[in-house]
Structure 1
Amino acid sequence: MTPHDRWLLRTDTTTYAVTLGPDGRWAELAAWGPHGAEAGPSPMDRSRRTHFLTPADAAPAEYIPYGLRPFTGADLIAQHPGGERGSWWRFTGAAPDGDRALRLDFTDDVLGLRTTLCYETVPGTDVVLRWTELTCTGESELRLERFDSAAVNVPVQAGARLTYLAGQWSQEFQLRHMELARGRFEMESTQGSAGHAYAPWLAIQDSAAPTEGATPTYGIALEWSGNWRITADAEPGGSVRIRAGRVPHEGAVRLAPGTTLTTPRLACAFSPDGLDGLARVWHRYERRLTGARMDRPRKVLYNSWEATGFDVDAAGQLELAKTAAELGAELFVVDDGWFTGRHDDTGGLGDWEPDPAGFPGGLDHFIDQVRALGMDFGLWVEPEAVSPRSRLHAEHPEWAYRIDGRPVTLVRNQLLLDLGRPDVQDFVIGTLDRLLSSHAISYLKWDMNRPPTERGRPGHPAGTDPERQDLDAAHVAGYLRVLDHLRSAHPHVTVEGCAGGGARIEHATLARTDVVWPSDNTAPMDRLRIQYGYLHAHAPHTMSSWVTDAPGIFDPRPRSLAFRFVGSLAGVLGIGADIRDWTPDQRAEAAGWIARYKDVRDVVHHGEVHLLGSPDDPTCGIQYEEPGGHRLVVTAWNTGPLDGAPLVPGAAARLRLRGLDPGAAYTDQDSGTRYSGAYLLHSGLPFAWTAAHDAELVVLARE
């Protein structure tokens, strides 16, 4: 292989081209874009004039160590413990697999390190997966201070516009933009999960281009359930380079001779159609992650938490279940409070036995009553948590994270189990197996309501090097082992992922769950903003959303029951309100919305999505197109003022639809109104909002 040869990776519609640098010391990005983008001089090529920099610092390197790249940001920092930091490797081989996969080896014989850059395309998508394998080939261990998954060079010309998802608990997935002309942007989580503050997802565009429309847009998403970091650098010479990877809790990890560390996978995506187009790339990818489970309908659930809190007893739950069944719910989930010692948030976690006081006839008898109503049954669990007053903690205090001789921090009055320990994993697997095998449970909501704080393993020999424990990675491995076991041992069970809302939503979790809970905030306008950001990164079939009576936290404007239902059926519909207090009219309206959702959910979950405007606009919506284009589903909300009619002249609000055949005809299945595709594209779908009518679901059939 000569330095100027290239390897081409091809997805459905894009090409990712990799070459060796001029002296063959590192790999570079040559082109990334639609098929044919590689036919010409590389847009990443620079003058190679590097006053006060090295050539490696100016290169669009795919992955490069400190040592070769000392100034502008290295992806790998390795050393012998106590030795000098840095690696000076050489290219030692390539193993391409057609245009679908590639492995590039770089070796540092002095340090005793082989680095393998790994690439793999995902069939049916425009996603390239990248990760790195680090192997200690010497006779002494290595210390890895930084070991990103990959570096991504973005071919922009005038600086970068970054789009990211930020927030906090109850305000997750807020879409944010910033211009990066020069300098560094960094976001991370050290909460042992993706976290509420940022999502491990980033979109990059040229600052000179419009946000939407025919705009080349690049995106990355890290598949990691623990600590992570994403760094974007607008480097000297105008290059924009993104680095992403996990962050070890200990600050560094040790790599023993003969062992290999594999970094998390980084999904890299491209769309020529702006952020909206990039969202569709991610949606297709996440449908691939779901696999055969994608074919199972996401059932309408009722969850009892909002109605009863910790006050769980069979009689009250059965009253709710009967009403939920009358509305058309297909699944009844008992949330927190069903197990012994759980009268509030100070006890019970870890002792996963049904409370005989709450279920005097036994849990099985109650489940039989729910199933007799025509619904499946589900339970909430928090397998990683333990209450200090629980029997489990009394028997195994060493299973909880703590540092010997230091106080522990209670969050939500609970501690966190060290799921990196095999004995804790075995306990959790045994507990879940027992519950799912002993009772007719078809739905499991896995929650995690606190991050790790004093992250140590008590009882280990004094002087144990924490860098050899790698507690964050061990916890992630344990978490994924349990989820993988659930998927194989209990394939019929639907698993919902939750972490105090949306704190653990990334591709490793999404590949192993059926739905996730984006936020504990279910207020209508607040939730609309959360879901708008969420759908830029994640697919509708993963987005669990409930209709509740919750007032707004950040936007307290009152909204109709229809607004709440249309907002929730934009993903996977659930109900969490105290439906015992709903009037007969409200129950009848709810039953109507649930029936409509069942009619369109396949389109919502499998269709191509266009995000129409945003919650900042007076009217916004989402368009779902059925595979094959036979039906369109449009969810729409009035988020602004009304038009003033009848006191002053006013016109209907409109949403211009996208991606339609201008020559086709579309008929509204409710009103019978017939539109041409050209009309819907140019004039838009009309909505006559009133004070009582602030949301709508429209189904259009293509003739």
Structure 2
Amino acid sequence: MWTLRGVNTEYTVAARGDRIDLVAWGPHGVSDGPSPFDFSGKVQYMLPGDVAAVEYAADGQRPFLGADLAVAGSVLTLALADVAFLPDDGLRARFSDPLTGLVVTLRWRFAPGTDVIERWAVVENSGDAPVALSRLGSAGFSVPTPSGATLSYLWGQWAQEFTPASVRLARGRFEIGSAQGVTGHQFSPCLAVENGDAAYGIQLAWTGSWQITADLDVAGLTRVRAGRQLAEGPVTVAPGESVTTPVAAGVYSAEGLGGLAREWHAYERHLAGPRLERTRKVIYNSWEATAFDVTASGQLALADVAASLGVETFVVDDGWFVGRHDDHGGLGDWTPDPAKFPDGFGAFVDAVRAKGLDFGLWVEPEMVNPKSALYAAHPSWVYQSDGRPRTTIRNQYLLNLGRDDVYEFVRETLDALLSTYAISYLKWDFNRPRTEAARNASDVDGAHVRNLYRILDHLRVAHPDVTVEGCAAGGARVDLAMAARTDVLWPSDNTAPLDRLRIQDGFLSAHAPHLMSSWVTDAEGMFDERPRSLAFRFVLACAGVLGIGADITRWSPASLSEAASWVARYKDVREVIQRGVVHRIGGPSERRCAVQYTLGDRVVVLAWNAGGLDGLDRVPARDIRLPLRGLDPRARYRHGTQVYSGSHLMAVGLPVRWTATHDADLIELALI
């Protein structure tokens, strides 16, 4: 039996014949007693692996209730060869199958300074013939749920990403995933299992096709499998080769879904490493102001206003390169359009920087338009299925990034842009999923994703001062792997106030605020058209990394003055927002709707009126109270002239009162 320990939790496993089973998962000391996963009685008409809390199982050992690994055309069984406890690197268990020659190495490791356990598998072919893997999971996580399980997840579509949902599973199977070659808008690769007050969370660090499946057996065990979805056929491992699965991350919290969110935030700060200390600057993005109508004079006019508001980085979005007058042409030809920048692109960049602004640029390097010089020169670089007609989405094709020549082209193109011009911010977009891929090619999905990671990792080394924003038609590429390789992520193209409030609430349930890029725009609601003030939009965008995306040349002097004030207020508190401990209070469907950020002695609360008003003061009404968390009950906190005890703020709550003209607020409580 082996126990791994995180900051506050532990994970204990044991060898049971040729299996490694989970013994206990929870707070320190949880393994000191009988395992909740042990079962008595006889296994009827199944194998023991079907009902055991097995950590990783081939289909020969768990044939009926969901295996993690399988090979095409045969049944796979694995024999436990050895287990090693690595003091500085977790646990390693090695299995083998003499018939296929496969050697499978399982890994367990708590990420340093967190309570998130990372698990993955390495599948190596030590035989003399290729082996086709028809199922390639990363890990199985078991949760005791004797009375059924509540499963919480995030679903959506374009412009409606990160919508929280839950299902009560008494018995049976629940599955989410993506077969699009990208994380996807439809589901996020995360799942939570609630068992009373305790919650267990699982996420998968993969930016291609994936699946997470929860099986609840008749004896009350919920087993969650996470791994790649092999949508394009088996992955063939040649003799001497190996394939490593994505990391499946698991975490336990005694504080329910809110506690899980805080654990995920801490983990993503760990993934950021030293880059977490970089100031995530206030940006302006030109897309909603100009769309494809990019000109040097028009962009500089926007930059003038942005600089006057206190913006720190000016980002030119789509439309800056040759052939790009709409979405029908230009992708792949990453050369600045001389007609749009008659004095030269370098002179334009210098002019933006002369205003005291950093310069940023939008790219979509994995894409190509049929109407482009790149496609004319290299039509074979595009995914295609055995001579079938190619499908366009948004009038574009997807480059086969798994090819060495395409990988080199993308890397060299980005290197050239970042080396030639003083670019300090790169918005990397991805506006279509993969619809064609050669079925006879092995691991198309894995090759594309691995080369994506290679390029992003290269940018970190070759251009360490460049901030990278991950975007995919909104939030279709938000996962732990991208959180580790980008500085900020774009949750959605929908920036309307009440719509965005729901999107950001869901985002923060699984991802950290330092990753959440958010803009103030003039967009009207797509799902909720109720108007909200400029203050509401700013407080909303302040909940993560503040940006502005409206046509600010059309704003009134009063709006510009108010905007400058909000930018200044955000800069004063952004360290607390981006790095603080987060407590979500209520939600967009409740009268209470706020987020509390705490960093040391500093407490910042962002609050919004997501509903209506209490009769415009024509009938009796009481203030909405926001119960805060994690304060010192004996301490005293000041907001304006009002002083509160920590006990009052936690037990009774911080009062807010909404009026027709006051629908959001940013409140900083000073410890006195």
Pick from 17, 25, 39 the counterpart of residue 18 of structure 2.
Answer: 25
Identity of aligned residues (%): 57
Which aligned pairs between 1:398-417 and structure 2 lie closer than 5 A? 398-417=380-399
Matching residue's letter, 1:691: A
What residue number does 2:8 align with? 13
Distance 1:121 1:331 in 2: 37
Distance 2:459 2:164 in 1: 33
What residue number does 1:395 align with? 377
What residue number does 2:66 align with? 73
What residue number does 1:656 align with? 627
Which aligned pairs between 1:137-152 and structure 2 lie closer than 5 A? 137-152=126-141
Per-residue CA distance 1:272-312 (angstroms, 9 max, x = gap): 11111110100011011111111111100000000000000
Distance 2:41 2:317 in 1: 61
Distance 2:402 2:193 in 1: 35
What residue number does 1:36 align with? 29
Moved more, 642-651 or 193-202: 642-651
Q: CA deviation at 1:469?
A: 2.6
Distance 1:115 1:198 in 2: 29
Q: CA deviation at 1:470?
A: 1.0
Pick from 414, 424, 447 the counterpart of residue 406 of structure 2.
Answer: 424
Distance 2:618 2:532 in 1: 23
SS for the counterpart of 1:110 is coil
Q: Which runs of 5+ in 2 are unaligned?
A: none
Matching residue's letter, 1:440: A
Q: CA deviation at 1:358?
A: 0.6
SS for the counterpart of 1:563 is helix
Pick from 270, 279, 288 the counterpart of residue 297 of structure 1.
Answer: 279
Matching residue's letter, 1:151: G
Per-residue CA distance 1:234-253 (angstroms, 9 max, x = gap): 11211100001012242211
Q: CA deviation at 1:117?
A: 1.2
SS for the counterpart of 2:92 is strand
Matching residue's letter, 2:10: T
Which aligned pairs between 1:498-537 and structure 2 lie closer than 5 A? 498-537=471-510
Matched, 1:377 2:366: no
Distance 2:586 2:50 in 1: 40
Matching residue's letter, 1:337: G
Q: CA deviation at 1:542?
A: 0.2
Q: CA deviation at 1:99?
A: 7.7
Distance 2:88 2:412 in 1: 44
SS for the counterpart of 2:22 is strand
Matched, 1:697 2:658: no
Distance 1:476 1:89 in 2: 28
Matching residue's letter, 1:469: S
Per-residue CA distance 1:508-528 (angstroms, 9 max, x = gap): 111111001000000000000
Q: Retained in 2: the 8 A contact 1:9–1:99? A: no
Moved more, 152-161 or 548-557: 152-161
Matching residue's letter, 1:40: G
Pick from 444, 454, 459 the counterpart of residue 486 of structure 1.
Answer: 459
Matching residue's letter, 1:34: P
Matched, 1:680 2:649: yes
Per-residue CA distance 1:352-395 (angstroms, 9 max, x = gap): 11111111111111111111111100000000000101000000
What residue number does 1:106 align with? 95
What residue number does 2:184 align with? 195
Q: CA deviation at 1:141?
A: 1.6
Pick from 636, 643, 667 the counterpart of residue 665 of structure 1.
Answer: 636
Q: Retained in 2: the 8 A contact 1:11–1:127? A: yes
Distance 2:223 2:592 in 1: 36
Per-residue CA distance 1:99-124 (angstroms, 9 max, x = gap): 85001112111232211111111111
Per-residue CA distance 1:524-567 (angstroms, 9 max, x = gap): 00000000000010000000000000000011110000110000
Corresponding pairs, count: 672
Cα separation, partners in 2 of 1:137 and 1:100, compared to 1, 3 Å: closer
Matched, 1:243 2:225: yes
Pick from 286, 299, 316 the counterpart of residue 298 of structure 2.
Answer: 316
SS for the counterpart of 2:320 is coil
Matching residue's letter, 1:515: V
SS for the counterpart of 1:618 is coil
Q: CA deviation at 1:133?
A: 1.1
What residue number does 2:311 align with? 329
What residue number does 2:159 align with? 170
What residue number does 2:617 align with? 646
Q: CA deviation at 1:156?
A: 2.5
Runs of 4+ in 1 over 4 A off after TM superposition: none
Matched, 1:46 2:15: no
Matching residue's letter, 1:73: G
Matched, 1:553 2:553: no
Pick from 328, 346, 358 the counterpart of residue 328 of structure 2.
Answer: 346
Matching residue's letter, 1:361: D
Pick from 169, 187, 212 the counterpart of residue 230 of structure 1.
Answer: 212
Distance 1:119 1:57 in 2: 22
Moved more, 657-666 or 27-36: 657-666
Per-residue CA distance 1:151-204 (angstroms, 9 max, x = gap): 000123311111100000010000111111101000110111110000001111
What residue number does 2:437 align with? 455
Q: Retained in 2: the 8 A contact 1:248–1:473? A: no
Q: Retained in 2: the 8 A contact 1:330–1:374? A: yes
Matching residue's letter, 1:139: D
Matched, 1:181 2:170: yes
Cα separation, partners in 2 of 1:478 and 1:134, compared to 1, 3 Å: same
Matching residue's letter, 1:179: R
Q: Which runs of 5+ in 1 are unaligned?
A: 1-5, 210-214, 457-465
Distance 2:483 2:366 in 1: 18
Distance 1:243 1:450 in 2: 27
Q: CA deviation at 1:264?
A: 0.6
What residue number does 1:268 align with? 250
Q: CA deviation at 1:467?
A: 5.1
Cα separation, partners in 2 of 1:435 and 1:285, compared to 1, 3 Å: same
Q: Retained in 1: the 8 A contact 2:119–2:248? A: yes
Distance 1:46 1:52 in 2: 16
SS for the counterpart of 1:150 is strand
SS for the counterpart of 1:659 is coil
Distance 1:646 1:230 in 2: 50
Distance 2:463 2:489 in 1: 18
Q: CA deviation at 1:404?
A: 3.9
Matched, 1:622 2:625: no
Q: CA deviation at 1:405?
A: 2.5
Per-residue CA distance 1:213-265 (angstroms, 9 max, x = gap): xx211101101110001100011211100001012242211111122111111
Which aligned pairs between 1:585-596 and structure 2 lie closer than 5 A? 585-596=558-569
**C-alpha RMSD of the superposition:** 1.1
Distance 1:258 1:467 in 2: 21
Q: Retained in 2: the 8 A contact 1:547–1:574? A: yes
Q: Retained in 2: the 8 A contact 1:252–1:467? A: no
Distance 1:509 1:76 in 2: 25
Per-residue CA distance 1:598-629 (angstroms, 9 max, x = gap): 00000001110000011010230000001x2x
Which aligned pairs between 1:52-67 and structure 2 lie closer than 5 A? 52-67=45-60
SS for the counterpart of 2:509 is helix
TM-score by length of 1: 0.94
Q: Retained in 2: the 8 A contact 1:173–1:199? A: yes
What residue number does 2:368 align with? 386
Per-residue CA distance 1:638-693 (angstroms, 9 max, x = gap): 1112122421111111111111111111111xx23111001101111111110110
